[in-house]
Amino acid sequence: MQTFHLLAYSEWHWGIWTLLCILAAAGLLAVLSPRWFAYLVKRSNTWVDSDGFFRQLDRRVEVDRCVLHYCRWFGVVCVAAAVLLGLVVLPLMSMQWVAWLLLGLVGASGLVALASPPLFARLASFSSMWIDSDRFFKRLDRRVDVDNCVIRHSRLFGAVCVVVAVILTIFLHYAA
């Protein structure tokens, strides 16, 4: 089945044409009236600050204490989950070698936890190193104000939007 045939005649048909109409309307508005386009961009641009929400998710949770405290129970649960998933879910999957690999790792960690809790504790403390990624993501987390560039060159942006909408419309219409 061709991809564009699927896009043009599936249940997404009206969604695709609606998005193309919105793109063409935004392009025409930017070409015909840059002042109105700039006004609408300024009114619709809202910066959502998600730091407060993600700061709660970003704190370190000491799972090792709980797992190491109930080491044998964790081993029983891992072995049972590996067996259950191997019997029920594995026949339904297409990439079975990945599932076998993951189930083998879960089952092996469960067996190690059952057989030798001190060895499991050493493996868990060695493998649970915390990697601090704040320095790397701090550079990516700064705000880039694209609106000023778009508003300054709104006629060019509008022309590009209209051309893209026309090309996509022709392409989707004749690809079927």
Tell me the C-alpha distance between 122 and 108, whole Å. 15
State the pLDDT confidence band at 64, using cuts at 50, 70 and 90: low
- In this model, does residue 70 exceed pLDDT 50? yes
Domain extents in the chain: 1-45+157-176, 61-115
Answer yes or no: are the C-beta atoms of 20 and 165 closer than 8 Å.
yes
- Alpha-helix runs per DSSP H in 59-95: 63-69, 71-88
State the pLDDT confidence band at 24, using cuts at 50, 70 and 90: confident
- In this model, does residue 55 exceed pLDDT 70? yes
Name the 3-class secondary structure at 62: coil
Whether pTM > 0.85 for this model: the answer is: no
Say what the pLDDT of residue 1 is. 45
- Range of lowest pLDDT (8-12, 64-68, 81-85, 129-133): 8-12
Average the pLDDT over 148-162 and give the result.
83
